[in-house]
């Protein structure tokens, strides 16, 4: 051919492809397990985070879950409607709110955590313990790299050259 260009990379040569592929399947399976308890994956994450911290502002939750404030607002509304979360006014800031678990929400967490454990086991049970540790270390390293980069708000994520 008259014009040459670098070979087009394979779909399967992209780590992003494999990550999405595996994550989608793991999450879809987890979503099906949770569906039986009437919560979504994102709702589970909120419940579990609230179990740890007691109460949180929606804005902080949005940061922690890397979602928009609009999404968190709707998510919180659904959890309130399900009676799993309480929405309180922030006494220190009239604009703000405080989210906390209800007794019903708190009671659900152990069972949902067991579903997460089982789902993890179903997908990662094919890995040796050392492989699991290594996968977690690599994912944390990537996540940390993203967090660190994101901390430098003055510049967007850029390709390493």
Contact status: 152 vs its own copies (CB under 8 A): no
Contact status: 151 vs its own copies (CB under 8 A): no
In the bound state with its own copies, the residue whose beta carbon lies nearer, of 92 and 128, is 128
- Cα gap 153→11, rounded to integer Å: 31
Of the candidates 144, 50, 121, 139, the one whose C-alpha atom is nearest the C-alpha of residue 88 is 50
Q: Are 108 and 37 in contact (CB under 8 A)?
A: yes
Token pair of 60, please?
């902080």
In the bound state with DNA, the residue whose beta carbon lies nearer, of 28 and 135, is 28
Residue 149 — φ and ψ, nearest 5°? Answer: -65, -40
Contact status: 6 vs its own copies (CB under 8 A): yes
Site for DNA in 26-45 (CB under 7 A): 28, 40, 42
Contact status: 66 vs its own copies (CB under 8 A): yes
Binding site for DNA (CB under 7 A): 28, 40, 42, 57-59, 66-78, 87, 90, 93-97
């Amino acid at each position: 051919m008259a014009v040459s260009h670098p070979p087009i990379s394979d779909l399967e040569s992209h780590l992003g492809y494999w990550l999405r592929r595996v994550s989608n399947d793991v999450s879809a399976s987890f979503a099906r397990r949770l569906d039986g308890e009437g919560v979504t994956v994102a709702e589970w994450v909120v419940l579990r985070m609230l179990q740890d911290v007691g109460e949180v502002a929606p804005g902080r939750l949005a940061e922690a879950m890397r979602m928009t404030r609009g999404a968190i607002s709707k998510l919180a509304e659904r959890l309130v409607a399900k009676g799993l979360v309480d929405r309180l006014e922030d006494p220190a800031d009239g604009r703000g709110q405080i989210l906390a678990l209800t007794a019903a929400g708190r009671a659900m967490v152990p069972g949902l955590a067991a579903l997460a454990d089982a789902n993890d086991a179903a997908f990662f049970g094919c890995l040796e313990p050392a492989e699991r540790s290594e996968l977690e270390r690599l994912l944390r390293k990537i996540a940390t790299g993203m967090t660190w980069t994101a901390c430098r708000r003055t510049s967007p994520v850029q390709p390493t050259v």
